[in-house]
Amino acid sequence: MNIMNRSVAVIGGGPAGLMAAEVISARAVKVDVYDSMPSVARKFLMAGKSGLNITHSEPFERFVARYGKRRAHIEPMLGIFGPDELREWVHGLGIETFVGTSGRVFPVGMKASPLLRAWLQRLNDSNVIFHLRHKWSGFNTDKSLKFETPEGEKGIKPDAVVLALGGGSWARLGSDGAWVDWLRQAGAQVEALKPSNCGFDVAWSPYFRERFEGAPIKSVVLSFGSFRQQGEFIVTKEGVEGGLIYAASALLRDEIATTGSAVMMLDLAPDRSHEWLVERLARSRGSRSMASHLEKNVNLKGVKAGLLREFVSKEDFSNLQPLAHFIKNLPIPLISARPLDEAISSAGGVTFESLDENLMLRVLPGVFCAGEMLDWEAPTGGYLLTACFASGYAAGRGVLNWLGVQEL
Ligand SMILES: Cc1cc2nc3c(=O)[nH]c(=O)nc-3n(C[C@H](O)[C@H](O)[C@H](O)COP(=O)(O)OP(=O)(O)OC[C@H]3O[C@@H](n4cnc5c(N)ncnc54)[C@H](O)[C@@H]3O)c2cc1C
């Protein structure tokens, strides 16, 4: 069959699906992209609202370590389309990138919309056809794809399919995780979706919550098991949220799942030693309250002093040695991870064991998977998008291979 007669359905118009569409359409194979939403890449656009961190500039060896126990599966894909290739690709769309102070890489302008516009134009030029408001809802008995559309139900039987349906967070942007059941019914192994890069619930007292909701906690060290990192986070109505919490969130979430709770330790004065604190706190307090003594001598005030009040007993709060100890080692009990819908990303998904080396489902020949719907997780820092692009690229190559079309 002439390759021009082959047709490929890409379901999900996020970064992973669009990358697969680009790779496949570049070889003159007909590509139809289906998305349930009225426009594509809504989460990608949302990611650009707070500064699109597209990848990270650290050495490759450190970069691949961010994928933890899934490194062995992600690394080969990044070896082909990794952080450097991704930056080149962005430049090819006419958008420059820059490295921020933390080594994170952003497009100039920080936004996703100019990049998406240029990208959609390129896909248009490659004759990719978009079918919006088409919600994939599983397979018909003849294995065709079932879609709910404004014109009613449709069945489509392409030569190959790329599923790039995203995870289960921020469902209002399109990725609702409904596909999990359909793929399980088809015999694929899919791990339950779990929140990743998420916040946690803390049983704040009404006083603390009222006074400190929204307050940033800056320059603290969070420890949990072998995890130890300096950073910041914010107090929310329900608990804690933000970069430092996200970085530890996979470990904290798994601990809660196993034991029912987790206690993270905070060092509220990472640049000061215990001895320094004791010496300063031992200075004469006069008639000052402990709160103003803390502020004057060790510069602990506001929400940090509030945290001490919240979790240190009255007795320990007024005793030098225990108080210094708790400033360096304050236990914060976490009750549960915030719901998946609020998380930045999802863990769980289609297991690599149920895919071949081209990301094709072993139980559904011709059906490939890519992006966040695969069973991996990574911290924020550009690692999420990079692996989505890389797996979209890999699935695109897999499809070409399956169709017998020469790869790029
Ligand atoms: C607020 C926020 C900020 C973020 N910032 C960053 C960042 O700066 N850097 C970074 O690396 N990552 C960031 N991320 C994560 C990143 O955006 C995602 O990991 C990435 O978008 C996932 O890409 P994807 O293509 O796998 O899935 P998605 O982008 O979720 O796309 C999946 C597509 O599939 C469609 N779809 C789903 N189900 C169906 C169905 N049944 N039928 C038809 N279509 C369907 C959806 O409508 C959607 O368009 C952020 C996430 C959030 C929520």
Which tens digit of pLDDT belongs to each residue from 337-394? 999 999 999 999 999 999 999 999 999 999 999 999 999 999 999 999 999 999 999 9
Query: pLDDT tier at 408 (50, 70, 90 boundaries)?
Result: low
C-alpha distance from residue 303 to each of 30, 216, 242, 310, 318 (Å): 58, 8, 15, 10, 18
Instruction: State which H helix or E strand residue 211 sits in.
Output: helix 206-212
Bridge partners (DSSP) of residue 30 are: 7
Side chain identity at 356, as an amino acid letter?
A: D
The stretch 300-322 carries a mean pLDDT of 95
Which tens digit of pLDDT belongs to each residue from 33-66? 999 999 999 999 999 999 999 999 999 999 999 9
Q: What is the pLDDT of residue 60?
A: 98
In the predicted structure, residue 187 carries a pLDDT above the cut 90: yes
In the predicted structure, residue 244 carries a pLDDT above the cut 90: yes
Arithmetic mean of pLDDT over the chain: 96
145-149, strands of its sheet edge to edge:
135-139, 145-149, 152-156
For atom 33 of ligand 1, the residue with the nearest CA is 12
Side chain identity at 223, as an amino acid letter?
A: S
CA-based radius of gyration for the chain: 25
The best mutation among 39, 165, 183, 386 to test binding of ligand 1, ranked by most ligand atoms within 8 Å of the C-beta, falls on 165
C-alpha distance from residue 233 to each of 37, 218, 229 (Å): 32, 7, 12
**Residue 373 Cα to ligand 1 middle (Å):** 9
Handedness of CA 401, 134, 145, 156 (dihedral sign): negative
**Tokens for 91?**
């430049």
In the predicted structure, residue 322 carries a pLDDT above the cut 70: yes
| Pocket lining: 385 vs ligand 1, CB cutoff 6 Å | yes
| Pocket lining: 116 vs ligand 1, CB cutoff 6 Å | no
| % of the chain residues with pLDDT over 70 | 99
Index of the ligand 1 atom closest to the CA of residue 169: 53
Helix (H, G, I), strand (E, B) or coil at 52: coil
Q: How far apart are CA 82 and CA 287, in angstroms?
A: 62
**Residue 106 Cα to ligand 1 middle (Å):** 17
Q: What is the pLDDT of residue 4?
A: 62
Q: What is the pLDDT of residue 175?
A: 97
The stretch 160-188 carries a mean pLDDT of 97
The stretch 298-327 carries a mean pLDDT of 95
The best mutation among 46, 130, 384 to test binding of ligand 1, ranked by most ligand atoms within 8 Å of the C-beta, falls on 384
Beta carbons of 376 and 73 less than 8 angstroms apart: yes
| % of the chain residues with pLDDT over 90 | 94
The best mutation among 35, 43, 135 to test binding of ligand 1, ranked by most ligand atoms within 8 Å of the C-beta, falls on 43
Q: Which of 146, 246, 132, 216 is nearest to 186 (CA)?
A: 146
